[in-house]
Amino acid sequence: MAAEQQQAGGSVWTRPQRPRREQPALSREQIVAAAMELLDAEGIDALSMRKLGTRLNAGATSMYSHVANKDELIELVVDEVYGEIATQDPAEASDWRTEVTTVAQSLRQAFLRHPWIASVLGQVGMSSLGPNLLRLSEQMIGALETAGFSLAEAERGMNTVSSYVVGLASTEAAWLTVLARSGQSQQEWVDAFWPAALQAVQAFPRLSRLYAAQSEGFDVDSNRVDSFSDGLECILDGLEARLRRAAE
């Protein structure tokens, strides 16, 4: 610490180098950005106000002038994640399916870029009403409404799609978090866990067959993205069906 400085000098100059009002030295944006870095680098457990403070060359409680709570801070960071997703230019009006698919894929990838978000969504919920989330909602509802759905139908469709994306991406992200915490490579982790999984599953015939089939190697990652796209298209098929049904 700076203990020796305090002992050497008087209390007058102990921290003269603190550049008080040249610029506020701490801003909401900086805090949110630093929190995002910390979360991406070390995960949710490493985010403490003290660590965030030191990373900003500030005290532990200095952020409370700009942010009410740790919870509010987290809400802000979450919306920042949503902010990474660009809304499409409405000029290039493409197929509604590709438009919805684009948003969904971007959302998934944003979640996988910031896996800590899974551990946080259950506390913050989608209820935070941050501007970026609202923007995404507006776009998706817009795509569905111009496709021919009523406004209420469009909202339900959006809820269905986004629930699917959030649910699946959360599971994936949680898995990534566990993986990261274990410190092993993906292959190591799978190898280590596979026997236990096989044994846990052996009382269930279909799961056993499934796991056995998956044993004879296949690419885990590519299967995952296929699986995501497949489920998404399944939902879109369901939506398209009711669109056609309404048109007749």
Partner DNA sequence: ACGCCCTTGCGCACACTGTGCGGAGCGCCG
Partner DNA sequence: CGGCGCTCCGCACAGTGTGCGCAAGGGCGT
Q: Which residues bind a second copy (CB under 8 A)?
A: 117-127, 129, 131, 134-135, 137-138, 141-142, 145, 151-152, 154-157, 159-160, 162-168, 170-171, 173-175, 177-178, 196-197, 200-201, 203-207, 209-210, 213, 227, 230-231, 233-239, 241-242
Structure tokens at 36: 């995002």
- The residue range among 51-59, 119-127, 141-149, 160-168 that interacts with DNA, by the rule CB under 7 A, is 51-59
Structure tokens at 208: 């056993």
CB of 14 to a second copy, least distance (A): 38
DSSP 76-126: HHHHHHHHTSPPPPTTS---HHHHHHHHHHHHHHHHHHSGGGHHHHHHH-G
Structure tokens at 174: 């949680």
Contact predicate 151/141, CB 8 Å: yes
41 binds, among DNA, a second copy, none (CB under 5 to 8 A by kind): none
CB of 15 to a second copy, least distance (A): 36
Please, which residue, 18 or 244, has the CB nearer to DNA? 18
Residue 234: phi and psi, rounded to 5, are -60, -45
Neighbours of 167 (CB within 10 A): 12
247 binds, among a second copy, DNA, none (CB under 5 to 8 A by kind): none
Please, which residue, 13 or 194, has the CB nearer to DNA? 13
Neighbours of 140 (CB within 10 A): 25
- Taking the C-alpha atoms of residue 108 and residue 105, their distance in angstroms, rounded to an integer, is 5
CB of 38 to DNA, least distance (A): 11
Does 113 contact DNA by CB under 7 A?
Answer: no
Residue of 5, 57, 202, 208 that binds DNA (CB under 7 A): 57
Q: Please report where in the chains the tokens 């550049």 appear, as a residue.
A: 19
Does 44 contact DNA by CB under 7 A?
Answer: no
Please, which residue, 77 or 236, has the CB nearer to a second copy? 236
CB of 161 to a second copy, least distance (A): 9
CB of 104 to a second copy, least distance (A): 12
Q: Please report where in the chains the tokens 């999984």 appear, as a residue.
A: 197
Residue of 40, 71, 191, 226 that binds DNA (CB under 7 A): 71
Please, which residue, 39 or 136, has the CB nearer to DNA? 39
54-59 LR contacts (CB < 8 Å, sep 24+): 56/26, 56/30, 56/31, 58/25, 58/26
**What is the C-alpha R_g of the chain?**
24
Angle at 40 between CA 34 and CA 45, to 5 degrees: 90
Residues near DNA, by CB under 7 A = 11-12, 15-16, 18, 20-22, 24-26, 47-51, 53, 57-62, 64-66, 69-71
